[in-house]
Chain A
Amino acid sequence: MNHFAAALSVAVLFVSIASPARATVNVVTTTEGLAAVAREVGGDKVKVTALSRGIQDPHFVDANPSLAVKLRNADLLLDVGMDLEIGWLPPLVIQSRNAAIQPGGARRLTAGTAVPPLDLPTGPVDRSQGDIHPSGNPHFLSDPRRVQLVAAAIAARLSEIDPGSAAYFQERLQAFRAKVAAAEKEWKAQLAPVAGRSVITQHKTLTYLLDWAGLQAAGYLEPKPGVAPPPSHVAGLGAIVKSAGVKGVLVESYYDPRSANQLRDLAGVKVMVIPGDVGGTKDASDWVSYVDTLVKALVQAVQ
């Protein structure tokens, strides 16, 4: 019996060593931007996986069933919302069999619910307006104000999932806020001399950032969201470039640059290729460096 008890004790000890209590929260995000913010807040208490990459157009990620495997064991799914992922996320969530991350589930956090939206439709809401987002513009994560709201929401949700680490998440949140505040000060200094100037972008991806930066969008290469730019529209932008004194066009790396190049040839604007998200270029390795890249491109584009 003593031998049995000893053997049992060794077995229990072995099992307890081999299967330690889960120390990290498995966070799956739809974009690399959200993954970057989750890492800022979660630190070493989270394991973060992004379903898409920063070099991808987040509207057109493939609903590859392999991604459902990543969602299967997610303790928390972070999505952008506002219909950004409507073309690919819903079937993956169902395929994952993970009840907690279904819409409205306890382990689902849609970042779009944490921020005040811009570009809410004020006119007709139909697809004559292009591939519109009726809930508002989902490209809010490059805005230093809104990213802090998202970070706070992530910290709160992580604290619910892992209450023992709540103080840690709050500490990380405060550190992230301080980092953003310091960077903001620097960015505002760079932007101050060019305040009020205008740029042209491919899609309405920079609406929030321009709003924060005090810059304007004089026009968009897409005549309507998601609609390919016809030559006549590019020609029309040529006139806007001249009348508004636009110096540059910003195009995310995942867009075809041909229309931007046409406008460059037509009106002499600079074409700046920018990351569409964290990880979109080598320099944009985390949230601060991503926005730093955007701010530098903006300043260069308007001069």
Chain B
Amino acid sequence: MVNIALLSLLAAQASAPDLGAQGQPFPTGALNVGSPGGIPIGKLMLMPEIAVVVDGALGYTTLSNGQQELSALVLPQHKVWPLLQEVELAFQATIDPYVRGDVFLTFSPDGVEVEEAYLTTLSLPWGLGVKAGKIYSPFGRTSQLHRHQWTFVDQPLSMQRLVGADGLGGAGGDVAWLTPLPWFAELHLAYQATAPGFADVLQLTGVARLIQYFDLSDSATLGVGLSWALFQAEAPEQWKNLAGADLYVKFRDPSSRSSVVLQGEIYGRQLGEQTFSQARWGGYAQAVWRLDRSWEVGARYDNAPAPLALAPGTQQTWTALGSFYTSEFFRIRVQPSLVLLPGGQNGFQGIASFEFTIGAHAAHPF
């Protein structure tokens, strides 16, 4: 972030004025026509905060392409394959006293995409806040996160296949009401055009979410969320209803960097012509232990609908995680997974990844 004090100091050093006993204003720099006057580099203070996040990996799998169908990450079978998964470019700034703007562009092997670009109101009354633009839908917990906010290298397949390959999102608006209750309780209502699952076709979507946090003690916080999305389905294979529930518990001794997070979500999806009893369900549960400032380990169980090319059934994935942080801006992760497919078609997948951030300091994820 460009800082006024530092800029003032730099300007003072650069121009080395003799301010005299009474003090004089900063010189305007060169006396050229068109000189803006004031601090020569003052314009920099109006620059948005800029950050770049880069994710790269080495992946290996024993699974065929068909067995990896409907996965955001598909690896060549039996090869150690290098990947540059994503480069995210973030611009964030206050637009005026009433709204701020956030823009996130992603560059990946699939091309360039606007991941999110939205305004956020800062001064609406009655606890209301509005986000408008291209946004992640207020659905579930993990589906709203950017890649660099993921604890694991990938998203649970249950989320990818039942919610969206990259989460659920699209153009639209989200009105959020922070209720006047003594604990954190926020109700979201969103209206968007989204492309759920791995489909490319946009569907009009209404989303509702209630998220609440309760401080159980000085060192334990419980988060409970309920989400529901209603889609305008115009074909039998399109999403019609999507329900979700998420649970999050964080234990952290305030005097320590160590923490334990238990988290789980379930999703239920009903397609256009399905009855409620035909809806597909899935979900994941994970535990992550941050040992200290540098080390983190985790485990995740994921239960998702199997790829369409295989026999109907579920795919279970057991994943372990080891992360090492040299700082808040660089981490290395190793993530082996055991994949259990219908009919005993089991396999292994391993990913070693690195991620770094340059530029503005992002908020710590909670």
What is the interface of chain A, defined by CB distance below 8 A to chain B? 52-53, 55-57, 60, 62-66, 68-69, 72, 83, 86-88, 90-91, 94-97, 99, 102-104, 117, 120-121, 125, 127, 130-131, 134-136, 226-228, 253-254, 256
Contact = CB atoms under 8 A, between A and B. Distances in A.
Given A65-B223, A66-B213, A226-B328, 9 more contacts: A55-B254, A65-B366, A66-B215, A83-B361, A87-B364, A94-B120, A102-B122, A131-B327, A228-B293
B97 A104 contact: yes
A47 to B, nearest CB: 15
A253 B65 CA distance: 53
Interface in B66-104: 94, 97, 100
A220 to B, nearest CB: 16
Contacts of A72: 127, 178
A105 to B, nearest CB: 8
Instruction: Name the 10 nearest CB pairs between A and B, nearest first.
Output: A99-B123, A55-B255, A135-B3, A65-B184, A87-B364, A56-B254, A91-B363, A63-B366, A65-B213, A86-B361
Contacts of A121: 6
A157 to B, nearest CB: 19
A256 B293 CA distance: 10
A66 B184 CA distance: 5
Interface in B241-300: 250, 252, 254-257, 292-294
Contact of A57 (B3, B257, B328): B257
Nearest to A89: B363
Given A65-B213, A117-B5, A120-B9, A127 B329 contact: yes
Interface of B: 1, 3, 5-6, 9, 94, 97, 100, 120, 122-124, 127-129, 178, 182-184, 186, 211, 213-215, 218, 221, 223, 250, 252, 254-257, 292-294, 327-329, 358, 361-366
B107 to A, nearest CB: 22
A104 B122 CA distance: 12
Among A63, A94, A97, A125, find the residue whose CB has the most chain B CB atoms closer than 10 A. Answer: A97
A94 B129 CA distance: 9
Nearest to B360: A86
A94 B294 contact: no
Nearest to B363: A91
Contacts of A69: 178, 182-184
A90 B178 contact: no
A3 B345 CA distance: 85
Contact of B6 (A99, A120, A127, A131): A120
25 contacts: A53-B218, A53-B254, A55-B254, A57-B257, A62-B221, A63-B364, A65-B223, A68-B184, A72-B127, A83-B1, A87-B362, A90-B363, A94-B120, A95-B129, A95-B178, A96-B178, A97-B178, A99-B122, A104-B97, A120-B6, A131-B328, A135-B6, A136-B5, A253-B255, A254-B255
A94 B122 contact: yes
A127 B362 CA distance: 14
A68 B129 CA distance: 13
B193 to A, nearest CB: 25
B363 A254 contact: no
Contacts of B365: 63
B154 to A, nearest CB: 24
B321 to A, nearest CB: 20
B363 A102 contact: no
Contact of A102 (B123, B178, B223, B257): B123
A264 B231 CA distance: 65
Nearest to A92: B363
Contacts of A120: 5-6, 9
A64 B213 contact: yes
Contacts of B254: 52-53, 55-56
Contacts of A253: 255
B64 to A, nearest CB: 42
Contacts of A228: 293-294
B257 A60 contact: yes
